[in-house]
Structure 1
Amino acid sequence: MPLARLDISRLRNLTHVRFEPSPQVNIIVGENGSGKTSVLEAIYLLSFGRSFRSHKHKTYIQYEQPECVVFAQVEQGAQHLPVGIKRSRDGAVEVRIQGRAAQSAVELAECLPVQLINPDAFRLLEGSPKIRRQFVDWGVFHFDEQFINGWRGWQKALKQRNSLLRRGKISANLLAAFDQELIRLGEQVNHARKAYVAALTPHFEAVLQQLAPNLHVQLGFFQGWDAQRTLSEAIEHSYQRDIDVGYTNTGPQRADLRVKTPTGDALDTLSRGQQKLVVSALKIAQGQLLIERGRQLVFLIDDLPAELDANHRRKLCRLLESLASQIFITSVGPDSMDFTWSDTTDVRHFSMNEGELSLKRTGEFNE
């Protein structure tokens, strides 16, 4: 469901930006600090309800303004679905979809799936297991309609159990009563994650083969406890330790996506450029899997040339073009966007200058 129109108000240096992007490829060129990444940030906000640049909402609301607003017309078949989010300086969030108030940010994610590839994408390899769990769970959320309810229930049961453990003295019988629901829902979450990683792996391997044929990387999934034990056995085995430390030590909350080469962890054995190719392959593979299930999504590519040579930039663009998805790419200069798109691809070039976005005519960047 591509964006047919986008309105951004009072977000960073974007006082008011309105434009109609291409349903396929959009290239935004501008100097550092001009506001081009803020356009991607606005689209991301419209999907996730939060920024990818900061967890503090006050940092992206324009200075001395009470709120920022992002509104879009999202193509849904032959119709346009109005979607909007307003984030106030006092922390209030208002989300509206087709004129009605949305119940949660989950509705945004369902309405507008967005995949981001930016310089911070390295965190997927070098960051904590939580970041990789979030990557997996985003995919499972769109892959398995039942996942979100099971995940929410498991999270609630886990918080309740940890609350009991923090109280100190607790009977085994009382804890066991909470453990039944925790184990039932935890097994559901684990099963959904494992099924998703199994489905994702062949796509990842195929994409990486196209980007870097000589790069050999394997995906593995650690479920969060000893694979030789059931979740029930693992929790029972960890009972005394949980009592001692005051929280649950084992379970799906410890899960991790393992990314390895024949000589060790990808983070330790690959160059910075190779890491970006691996992360890009993971993100594109996620997109492929979603598209196979009849969904459309938006790709946000911030600072495409960074860490990649011209050959790999062309390969990445070729893969993105083949997905038949809406793509937004930012770049500091037109000389680094050296990929020739297909004649049938609708490519629109925009220039960003001090918060002002303008559509450029064909060939104008080369003048």
Structure 2
Amino acid sequence: MKLDLVQVNSFRNINELSIVPAENLNVFFGANGSGKSSVLEAIHYLGFARSFRTNTHKNVIQQGSEGFTVFGIVSAKESIYKLGLSRKLDNSCTVSIDGAKTKSAVELVSLLPVQIFTPQSSELIIGSPKLRRKYLDWVLFHVEPGFAKEFAIYRRCLLQLNAILKDKRYSENLNTEQDYWIEQLCLVGERLSSLRTELMSGEFLSFIQYNLREFLPEFIFDFSYYKGWEKDLSLKESIYKNRERDKRTGFVSSGFHKADIRIKINSVAANEVLSRGQLRMLVAAMQIAQAQYLFSKNEKSVVFLLDDVGAELDTDKQQLFINSLINTGSQLFVTAIDKNQLGYLAQYRDKKLFHVEHGQVIEEI
């Protein structure tokens, strides 16, 4: 997947932008606050339908505007897609795919696999399990047909069960309703969990370990997947076992939504062993594995956004990271304050450099 054209309107300090990116490497340089991260943020909307910097969409709308628009032309094998997304101050969202408008962003996101690497990416390791679940689910969303639909069913069942658990009025009807939703949740939850388990025990894990031998050869990593409930019980058995406790707390404590990836070095949690720079390289190895696996399964490449790639990574590690991504067929969008920070750029032939100043993006010739 490659972005052949990117157009942005009324997005943060970018009034109007239209660029034709290089197929491999695109570098945006300029002072802090110039707008280079905003270019990446706009592209991120095409791949996630949301920002990586704020949860409030109206915060990215340029002051004085009614809304923003991001448009991209994507080439994939022999297909070309025209993708657009706009958001208004009233929080309404319109998605356009080849001129057809829809309110759902699922199809848009499925057509353009995007990943982001920022100075905050270490949160994947040191942050909450939710981030590690999202890491796995991004892969399954792009590889497994029907995953998004089943994931939505699971969430709906979980919301219904939690609502029942919070209802302090006991009745036989309420108990019967709870049994129904438990049955539905377990049916889809076991299937979804098996997909994650297979992912973390096969080729995908092999890609992670291969990258780590390149990036952090001084360590031996052990990855394990905790499915979210007792390993000797089925999901239904676990939910019924904890039913009374769940009534007291008001939420389902067992299930697909409680899973986690556990990463250790010599039986010690990786985040307690690694430096900040090493944590970033661990994340880099894991994210590259996403691109490698996606390409191995359906020959889709990833649009990769690297925001401030030089933060806590020395030149050799930066170059190793970028080379590894390019080898997956990824299209890269990289930001830096000064292009001289990336002294290794000369070795790349298929690249474009863009100077960003006060929201204006000018390609260097």
TM-score for the superposition, normalised by structure 1: 0.95
Letter in 2 for 1:19: I
Q: Provide the residue aligned with 1:323 in structure 2.
A: 328
Aligned pairs for 1:338-357 (under 5 A) are: 338-340=343-345, 342=347, 345-357=349-361
Q: Provide the residue aligned with 1:208 in structure 2.
A: 212
The whole-number CA distance in structure 2 between the counterparts of 1:317 and 1:211 is 12
Q: How far does residue 192 in structure 1 lie from its aligned partner after superposition? A: 1.1
Q: How far does residue 174 in structure 1 lie from its aligned partner after superposition? A: 3.7
* Other structure's SS at 1:119 match: coil
CA contact (8 A) 1:143 1:196 kept: no
The whole-number CA distance in structure 2 between the counterparts of 1:136 and 1:152 is 16
Q: Provide the residue aligned with 1:140 in structure 2.
A: 140
Which string of whole-angstrom CA distances, capped at 9 and with x for unpartnered residues, describes residues 201-239 of structure 1?
110010111112112222211111111111111011101
Which string of whole-angstrom CA distances, capped at 9 and with x for unpartnered residues, describes residues 274-332 of structure 1?
00000011111011000112112201011111101112112112212211221111111
1:190 corresponds to 2:218: no
CA contact (8 A) 1:115 1:300 kept: yes
Q: Provide the residue aligned with 2:69 in structure 1.
A: 69
1:151 corresponds to 2:132: no
Q: How far does residue 246 in structure 1 lie from its aligned partner after superposition? A: 1.8
Q: How far does residue 272 in structure 1 lie from its aligned partner after superposition? A: 0.2
CA contact (8 A) 2:93 2:103 kept: no
* Other structure's SS at 1:53 match: coil
How many residues are aligned here?
360
CA contact (8 A) 1:23 1:346 kept: yes
In structure 2, runs of 5+ residues without a counterpart are none
Q: Provide the residue aligned with 1:359 in structure 2.
A: 363
Letter in 1 for 2:304: F
Aligned pairs for 1:1-367 (under 5 A) are: 1-168=1-168, 169-171=170-172, 172-199=175-202, 200-293=204-297, 294-340=299-345, 342=347, 345-361=349-365
CA contact (8 A) 1:313 1:339 kept: no
CA contact (8 A) 1:314 1:338 kept: no
Q: How far does residue 103 in structure 1 lie from its aligned partner after superposition? A: 4.7
CA contact (8 A) 2:302 2:329 kept: no
The whole-number CA distance in structure 1 between the counterparts of 2:171 and 2:42 is 47
TM-score for the superposition, normalised by structure 2: 0.95
Q: Quickly say closer, same or farther: Cα 1:280–1:341, change in 2 above 3 A.
A: farther
The whole-number CA distance in structure 1 between the counterparts of 2:119 and 2:260 is 22
The whole-number CA distance in structure 2 between the counterparts of 1:340 and 1:326 is 15
RMSD: 1.4
The structure 1 segments of at least 4 consecutive aligned residues displaced by more than 6 Å after TM superposition are: none
Deviates further, 255-264 or 279-288: 255-264
In structure 1, runs of 5+ residues without a counterpart are 362-367
